[in-house]
Amino acid sequence: MPLLDVPRAEEYVSLIRARLSEKTANHCISATELMLTIADRVGIAAAQCVQAGLLHDLCKGMSDEDLLAAARRCDIPVSDVSLRKPKLLHGPVSAEECRRVLGIDDEDVLDAIRWHTTGHPEMSTTGLALYFADFSEPLRTHPEAAEARAILTNEGFMPALIYVSGKKLHHVLTKTVVDPNTLAFHNWLQRKR
């Protein structure tokens, strides 16, 4: 189904165009389009693709101070890792805005938005699709994005997801701050395989 035929898609596109940089808004649209191409195969609805894909980075433009303040206001747990790297809160804060302001009540969608950066054990199928699309959508310029899409085509969704989570884990292990959810999610995916 074309993206703009899905209910509320136009409203969400206008919202992200007003709130985010052109690059990030285009990334959200591209991620949504990729999710829509795999929706039937993985068993998620077009509305879930549109809500999770278009809105997952809704709060990405907020400053560290504003993200921390919003997290405290919304009773979002702030881990030591998030305190040191508040940008990690853009998923949880975006999910809360979707629930409280936009009235989205699909817990699979909210879960997807909340955990899209690190992944999370027991993540919903919408979450898995968003996690894959966030890394692999065709506007991403890193070569691993095309490789992930090729694995999806040639081997299937689970091998593609494990490839993405492995690449993300490898990347974060080069950083000084590592969110434990990244490793926990990768291990959970391997067991689920």
Nearest distance in Å: CB 151, Fe ion? 20
* Alpha helix segments (H runs only) across 101-142: 107-114, 125-136
Residue 125 CB contacts under 8 Å (≥ 6 apart), including other chains: 42, 43, 44, 108
Nearest distance in Å: CB 174, Fe ion? 19
Nearest distance in Å: CB 109, Fe ion? 15
Between helix 157-172 and helix 143-154 the angle, nearest 10°, is 150
Give ∠ CA 116-121-125 in degrees, rounded to 5: 60
**Can you tell me which of 96, 97, 111, 134 binds Fe ion, judged by CB under 5 A?**
134
3-state SS assignment for residue 76? coil
Q: Are the beta carbons of 15 and 59 closer than 8 angstroms? A: no
C-alpha span between 59 and 57 (Å, rounded): 6
Please identify, using beta-carbon distances, which residue of 32 and 39 lies nearer to Fe ion: 32
Please identify, using beta-carbon distances, which residue of 57 and 179 lies nearer to Fe ion: 57
Nearest distance in Å: CB 133, Fe ion? 9
Region near Fe ion per CB under 5 A, out of 102-110, 130-138, 175-183, 185-193: 130-138
Site string for Fe ion, 33-72 (x = CB under 5 A): ------------------------x---------------
The answer to whether 137 contacts Fe ion (rule: CB under 5 A) is no
Binding interface with Fe ion (CB under 5 A): 57, 134
